[in-house]
Structure 1
Amino acid sequence: MTNQRTAFERGAVNGVRVHVMPTKRFKTFAIAVYIGIPLKEETVTPVALTPFVLRRGTTALPETIQFRERLDELYGAGFGFDVYKRGDYQIIQFRMDIINDAFVHTSESLLKRGFQFLGDVITSPVLEDGVFRNKYVQEEKETVRKRLEAIVNDKIRYAQERCVEEMCKDEPYRLHPLGDRAQLADINSTSLYSQYQSWLEQACMDVYVIGDTSLEEIESCITSSFQVKRSEEKNYSQTTINVRSGEPNKVVDRLEVTQGKLNMGLRTTIAYQDNEYPAALLYNGVLGGYPHSKLFINVREKNSLAYYASSRYDGHKGIMTIQSGVEFDLMEKATSIIKEQLESMEQGQIETLELAQTKAMISNHLREIDDSAFEMIGFDFNRVLSGRERTTSQLIDEIAAIQVKDIQAAAGTFRLDTIYELRNREEA
């Protein structure tokens, strides 16, 4: 199979970008639709709620049970969606996995039937009195509310979200992609449908397909199945990279918790589209991406200060977060040792084995992407978001060429911005 630079064929129809990888490698068609809109306080909650309502029924299949039965009729086709953020964008991703017609006995193209189903879900929802069915809206508001409450109950996730919220309190990135529980109460069938119509017209929309098909066939499927006439293609803008000067901001929350959470937020000028991105990936990997990384070894293993200690890097925002679970009386010591690891990275104190293991871990993950159609789609979507053309093989080669001095240079761009502690209320 050729690499991703030449494998995807690109086109557009009705303001929708189309990306098709014709291949006989897989027995199924992998279909993904990405619909992205800037994160905004006034739209984040209704946009998050929208796919939950859309999955309940279409004009042709108004009852949820009919919806599920249709998937069974399509030889057990898989359907699902995700709501997440990349950079300062809120992304809704619909996915469908449907078997290739060549492997079943069917008189009608399963690919076309699958696209008709998906197109109806996204662009032809069931309506009552010209707006969303009220019963579905009310029930799905409760679904979203429970998901948001689950974050509060999961203190690891809660601490992660609160750290980012404080770190980016003046930026759209502070918003959770599922929205705000307080805003759910004001949403009704009429307001949500109005927002949905605006979303379909204004959002960036990309359709991906991997399977034994062609760009022409998929464009034809979209034309006949997606009831949307957009005036033009909408493009993603580059996310603003902000690096704050001065001392780190310290935030302490107090709840009824038995274990403390120590999270840190760092900012860097390096984003996915930059040439230095591979070095930043390795910086995160050596620092806290894996069980052999500095945070895990020095904070958890050697000093027994944390139940877990790791780091994550969002290359679309230029932000890295460190998360750890620490006993309340060990917070200061853990903070000190984490800062020591950051300093050692800036000094270029990276062992040959550390670097080799990290390169191997990242490279193996990149190779595994080419074994999964949806992973390949997700990787290529980075190109749409960032404007930077990259293939997995190119990134593997770039990773292999990185030296300690390159990681040290990347380390110099990471600045500690926020220190967040979640402590027990009784301590106060």
Structure 2
Amino acid sequence: MKTFVSDKGNGVNIHVLPTGKFKLNTIVVTFHTDLEEDKATQRAMIPHVLLRGSKNHPNSESIQLALSDLYGATLTGGVSKKGERQLVEFLCKVVNERYLSDSESLLEKGFELMSEVLFQPVMEDGGFSEDFVEKEKEQHAKRIDSLLDDKIVYAAERCLEEMTKGERFSIPKFGRKSHLDHIDGKNLYEVYKDLVNTAPLHVYVVGNVDPERVKALVEKYFPNNRQPTDRLRPAEVKNAPEQPKEIVEQLDVNQGKLNIGLRTRVSHGDDSYPALLMYNGILGGFPHSKLFVNVREKASLAYYASSRLESYKGILYIQSGIQIDQYEKALTIIKQQLEEIRAGKISDTEMEFTRNGLVNSFQTVQDSPENLADVHAGGVVSGRQRTVEELIESVKKVTKEEVVQMANQVQLDTIYFLRDRKGAAANA
């Protein structure tokens, strides 16, 4: 597949991937910001407040009608977290008019509506509509609460939060519920103005489009007086402490959640990143991985057992669901899997299956325009662009020795156990 053609216009970074593979044109608008304790909650609310209404479409129903007129176009917004960056994102999908008898430029109409929603909000007394903000505060509280409802997600977030306490990474992507009481239409609008005027802005378009035409649309519909900062900070990739932290938390749960955080000291931009991908895949990234086979299947100690990477922060974390009284056994056998890889006990089958699994996962990225944009955005964060094809080729070249070398530099940082309120924490 072709790669993104990049350009600049109106202080906006423009990335276009011309392809006839998709019948929809996809527009992704991403504002890059540092994770900041005093602004994360507001920034996470901003996309949802903007989607409640704009200057010419004063409520969400009116915006939906406008999208319907564009042959069922869609427009959504939200935030994501990559390393120690908080990305404020908007996604618009609109049919390519080449596949319709109508000659009207639907791409331009999509840009026009998206621009209005982003840059012409409903105003009230020099700020956002108080009604919009109050309703969105209620919804945002529910988003944050939903993390507590899903204990797998909650345990993962809490483990990482304890592991990175004092680091920007510990700030949740949705911010904190305790900050909502202090937010109103005026101070949220101030954070919004700072975002749209100073945050580095990247616009992605994937579809059967001409890059020069996209640039002209960006210059026509996006503000031309932006002053983006170039002072975003890189993520800190740290070593683990000499003595791993052990955290036990008690809630009303029936199943224990044992999560383990490790420092890899390697992130997305490093040359050894492909070896880290292979290491994670062998450890717990797939159904054939050591954690799944040995902890879940053979020992029957876990309802689930896997590992995941935070690629932009140099962190790997293991997550497992266990019977509460099996904590010590589960922890021991998980540590054994780490030691086995360090000792080079990796079969040719594990190498082959992991390589194939990674290649397949990369290939599926090419079937999603927003995922292709996300891969590029990750390269912006890390400072190193890696195309899907480059990732596939680099993974194919990783040797068993490189995986073992990676295993021996991974450091245990935090052991987090979520258990029930019964019994003493000392039992853990």
Taking structure 1 as the reference length, the TM-score comes to 0.96
- Choose the corresponding residue for 1:337, options 333, 339, 350: 333
The answer on 1:267 being equivalent to 2:263 is yes
Per mean C-alpha deviation after superposition, the further-off stretch among 30-39 and 386-395 is: 386-395
Partner of residue 205, structure 2: 209
Unaligned 5+ residue runs, structure 1? none
Deviation at 1:235, TM superposition (A): 6.5
Alignment of 1:316-355 (within 5 A): 316-355=312-351
- Choose the corresponding residue for 1:170, options 166, 170, 185: 166
AA in 1 matched with 2:291: L
- Choose the corresponding residue for 1:136, options 132, 137, 149: 132
Secondary structure (helix, strand or coil) at the match of 1:94 reads strand
Secondary structure (helix, strand or coil) at the match of 2:182 reads coil
Secondary structure (helix, strand or coil) at the match of 1:206 reads strand
Per mean C-alpha deviation after superposition, the further-off stretch among 289-298 and 223-232 is: 223-232
- Choose the corresponding residue for 1:115, options 111, 117, 124: 111
Report sequence identity in percent: 39
- Choose the corresponding residue for 2:401, options 399, 402, 405: 405
User: Cα gap change, 1:69/1:155 in structure 2, threshold over 3 Å: closer, same or farther?
Assistant: same
Alignment of 1:345-384 (within 5 A): 345-384=341-380
AA in 2 matched with 1:12: K
C-alpha contact (below 8 Å) 1:14/1:231 kept by paired residues: no
C-alpha contact (below 8 Å) 2:30/2:201 kept by paired residues: yes
- Choose the corresponding residue for 1:196, options 192, 195, 220: 192
CA distance in 2, matches of 1:82, 1:47: 9
- Choose the corresponding residue for 2:294, options 281, 293, 298: 298
The answer on 1:24 being equivalent to 2:11 is no
The answer on 1:157 being equivalent to 2:145 is no
CA distance in 2, matches of 1:340, 1:195: 48
Secondary structure (helix, strand or coil) at the match of 2:25 reads strand
Deviation at 1:104, TM superposition (A): 2.0
- Per-residue CA shift, 1:292-327, capped at 9, x if unaligned? 100011111111111000000111110011100111
C-alpha contact (below 8 Å) 2:10/2:223 kept by paired residues: no
Which of structure 1's runs of 4+ aligned residues deviate more than 4 A? none
Q: CA RMSD of the aligned region, Å?
A: 1.3
CA distance in 2, matches of 1:370, 1:260: 37
Partner of residue 179, structure 1: 175
- Per-residue CA shift, 1:128-165, capped at 9, x if unaligned? 22211111100111111001111112111111111011
CA distance in 2, matches of 1:344, 1:107: 62
User: Cα gap change, 1:385/1:235 in structure 2, threshold over 3 Å: closer, same or farther?
Assistant: farther
AA in 1 matched with 2:261: G
AA in 1 matched with 2:389: S
Q: Give the paired residue count.
A: 424
Deviation at 1:106, TM superposition (A): 3.1
CA distance in 1, matches of 2:403, 2:272: 9
Deviation at 1:387, TM superposition (A): 1.7
Unaligned 5+ residue runs, structure 2? none
C-alpha contact (below 8 Å) 2:282/2:354 kept by paired residues: yes
- Choose the corresponding residue for 1:61, options 54, 57, 63: 57
- Per-residue CA shift, 1:251-298, capped at 9, x if unaligned? 010111111110000011111111100000010000000111000111
C-alpha contact (below 8 Å) 1:205/1:234 kept by paired residues: no
Secondary structure (helix, strand or coil) at the match of 1:316 reads coil
CA distance in 2, matches of 1:238, 1:42: 19
Alignment of 1:2-21 (within 5 A): 2=2, 4=3, 8-21=4-17
Taking structure 2 as the reference length, the TM-score comes to 0.96
C-alpha contact (below 8 Å) 1:45/1:179 kept by paired residues: yes
C-alpha contact (below 8 Å) 2:200/2:228 kept by paired residues: no
CA distance in 2, matches of 1:305, 1:48: 38
- Choose the corresponding residue for 2:39, options 33, 40, 43: 43
Deviation at 1:412, TM superposition (A): 1.5
- Per-residue CA shift, 1:142-193, capped at 9, x if unaligned? 1110011111121111111110110011101111101100000110001100
